[in-house]
């Protein structure tokens, strides 16, 4: 006898509507309730029609990628790498743009199931690991991009964010700067946390005391770099000689905030970014930054995914994690500390 949605609702002690919402990746369900429903689905072996029509049929020769809708050049170049590798292997690419970094990937996954893709590359956070666990157990081929797998047994491709944060900070320290502001990105995202940890480790290795007041809240957007530095200057004045921003957009916003206060970059404050975005050589002064090989990240993620799709017996294979190295690109926005700055 086939399990019905009513059976799942009874075991999970929720309404049929709630089961449907979880199955479809819809909003309005708490993490605790969603976990309970997913456990009931797994226990009973329930397969909604949308799930049953997924990757267990013949290959569609299509793969998907879910990325935030604020693509920018970072994800644009990643997608270029994915599309290039997919085309070489005669695969089509289906793109789903999420409205938010954390929650909307659920609807993206549902979208991919409806399109019957053979696999998907997901940009997610650890907040939805339960849902991804379920997809993996259902047989979906998944590669995670720019994050750690944590408990997920799935292939991942990421930038060496810790190393990037370390060498950016070390570079400023070697120029004589010790009072270095750090503008973090979205704090719960792995890449932001790792860049922050690299910043702290570089300070520790140089025996520079970590100052929590030097940590500014950002969100990877240019406005947050501008507003956080503007607010800091209004509250504390110029008690620092350098800024390391977790991406180029925030670094550019920081330069604008400094300029508005009549503070000259790099003569009075040095600034280093992260990404080596297309605009970084064109800002004034040109931005010293950490280069990420974004197209390579996309290509490698696609190759891992197509390998999983082509060789179905790799299901039990040890998950692979590829960490792509970074490099410092020196331009004009950071210089050695002056004797005047040392005197404060």
Residues 205 and 336 in one domain: yes
pLDDT band at 303 (very low <50, low <70, confident <90, very high): very high
Q: Which range has highest mean pLDDT (33-37, 99-103, 191-195)? A: 191-195
- Kindly state whether residue 47 falls inside one of the protein's structural domains: no
Domain encompassing residue 309: 58-159+294-324
Comparing C-alpha atoms, which of 71, 153, 77, 62 is closest to residue 111?
Answer: 62
Comparing C-alpha atoms, which of 39, 36, 34, 49 is closest to residue 4?
Answer: 49
| pLDDT for residue 54 | 41
Average pLDDT for 32-52:
73
| pLDDT for residue 96 | 74
For the record, the structure tokens of 205 come out as: 């290795």
Average pLDDT for 72-93:
85
Residues 219 and 78 in one domain: no
- Kindly state whether residue 46 falls inside one of the protein's structural domains: no
pLDDT surpassing 90 at residue 75:
no
CB 74 within 8 A of CB 122: no
Residues 101 and 146 in one domain: yes
- Kindly state whether residue 45 falls inside one of the protein's structural domains: no
User: Model-level pTM greater than 0.85?
Assistant: no
Residues 85 and 179 in one domain: no
Residues 136 and 96 in one domain: yes
pLDDT surpassing 50 at residue 112:
yes
| pLDDT for residue 55 | 39
- Kindly state whether residue 50 falls inside one of the protein's structural domains: no
CATH number, domain with residue 131: 3.40.50.2300
- Kindly state whether residue 197 falls inside one of the protein's structural domains: yes
Residue 244 β-bridge partners? 182, 272
Each residue's pLDDT tens digit, 251-299 = 999 999 999 999 999 999 999 999 999 999 999 999 999 999 999 999 9
| pLDDT for residue 38 | 85
Each residue's pLDDT tens digit, 162-188 = 999 999 999 999 999 999 999 999 888
- Kindly state whether residue 142 falls inside one of the protein's structural domains: yes
- Kindly state whether residue 49 falls inside one of the protein's structural domains: no
Strand, coil or helix: 119: strand
Residues 169 and 287 in one domain: yes
Residues 233 and 273 in one domain: yes
**Helix boundaries (H) for the chain:** 5-12, 16-24, 31-44, 49-52, 72-88, 105-115, 129-137, 161-174, 190-205, 222-236, 248-260, 294-310, 339-343
- Kindly state whether residue 130 falls inside one of the protein's structural domains: yes
Residues 120 and 21 in one domain: no
| pLDDT for residue 72 | 57
Average pLDDT for 58-74:
72
pLDDT surpassing 60 at residue 314:
no
CB 234 within 8 A of CB 216: no
Residues 116 and 104 in one domain: yes
pLDDT band at 48 (very low <50, low <70, confident <90, very high): low
Average pLDDT for 82-107:
72
**pLDDT-above-70 percentage for the chain:** 80
Distance, in Å, from the CA atom of 58 to the CA atom of 54, rounded to the nearest integer, reads 10
pLDDT band at 99 (very low <50, low <70, confident <90, very high): very low
How many whole angstroms from its chain centre is CA 15?
Answer: 34
Residues 280 and 174 in one domain: yes
Residues 231 and 333 in one domain: yes
Q: Structurally, how many domains does the chain consist of?
A: 3
Comparing C-alpha atoms, which of 186, 194, 159 is closest to residue 78?
Answer: 159
pLDDT surpassing 70 at residue 76:
yes
| pLDDT for residue 158 | 94
Residues 185 and 332 in one domain: yes
């Amino acid at each position: 006898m086939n399990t019905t949605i009513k059976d799942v609702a009874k075991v999970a002690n929720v309404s049929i509507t709630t089961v449907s919402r979880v199955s479809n990746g819809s909003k309005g369900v708490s993490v605790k309730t969603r976990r309970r429903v997913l456990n009931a689905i797994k226990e009973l072996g329930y397969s909604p029609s949308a799930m049953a029509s997924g990757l267990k049929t013949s290959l569609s020769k299509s793969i998907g990628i879910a990325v935030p809708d604020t693509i920018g050049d970072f994800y644009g170049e990643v997608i270029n790498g994915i599309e290039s590798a997919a085309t070489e292997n005669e695969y089509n690419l289906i793109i789903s743009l999420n409205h938010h970094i954390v929650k909307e990937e659920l609807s993206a996954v549902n979208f991919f199931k409806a399109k019957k893709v053979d696999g998907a590359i997901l940009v997610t956070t650890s907040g939805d690991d339960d849902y991804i666990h379920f997809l993996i157990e259902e047989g979906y081929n998944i590669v995670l991009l720019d994050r750690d797998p944590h408990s997920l047994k799935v292939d991942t491709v990421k930038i060496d964010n810790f190393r990037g944060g370390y060498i950016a900070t070390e570079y400023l320290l070697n120029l004589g700067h010790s009072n270095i502001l750090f503008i973090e990105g979205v704090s719960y995202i792995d890449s932001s946390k790792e860049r922050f940890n690299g910043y702290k480790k570089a300070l520790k290795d140089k025996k520079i005391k970590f100052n929590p007041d030097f940590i500014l809240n950002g969100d990877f957007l240019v406005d947050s770099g501008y507003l956080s530095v503007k607010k800091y200057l209004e509250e504390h004045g110029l008690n620092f000689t350098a800024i390391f921003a977790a991406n180029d957009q925030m670094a550019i916003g920081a330069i604008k905030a400094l300029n508005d206060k009549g503070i000259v970059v790099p003569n009075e404050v040095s600034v280093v970014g992260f990404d080596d975005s297309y605009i970084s050589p064109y800002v004034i002064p040109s931005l010293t930054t950490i280069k990420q090989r974004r197209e390579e990240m996309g290509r490698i993620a696609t190759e891992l995914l197509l390998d999983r799709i082509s060789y179905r017996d790799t299901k039990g294979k040890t998950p692979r994690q590829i960490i792509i190295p970074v490099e410092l690109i020196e331009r004009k926005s950071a210089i050695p500390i002056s004797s005047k700055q040392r005197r404060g």
